[in-house]
Amino acid sequence: MLTILYVVLAVLVGLLAYAGIQAFRLKKAVTNLTQEQFIEGYRKAQLIDVREPKEFDAGHILGARNIPSSQLRQRFNEIRPDKPVYLYCQSGARSARAAMFLKKKEYTQLNQLQGGFRGWTGKIKSK
């Protein structure tokens, strides 16, 4: 019984350590911006919506390009590494993963909309 408890404890410690490392890596890879901060800079940057096309067509931030996270590995070269990149998705999870991927490809000016499109109150465009 005690052995099982030690195994469960070791797994929990491992999971917590992994989560901590991921959070640290994410913080180094991308800057989380409030909507106000996002609005201040996205017009001078590359605005990328990483949601899927159906989500994008239902409504997206005015001026955004759609490069779905499912296609990012094949299409990342459409994003210039020398210009700031502003990413967003529905909640922030996919844009965080996209930022981690782009960081590995040596993109340095990565920003994401805190809370994602779900909380956006600015101008949108839909088809």
Residues with catalytic annotation?
89
Q: How far is CA 8 from the centre of its chain?
A: 32
| DSSP string over 28-52 | HH-EEE-HHHHHHHHTTSEEEE-S-
**Structure tokens, 95:** 């844009």
Nearest to 98 by CA among 59, 56, 68, 53: 68
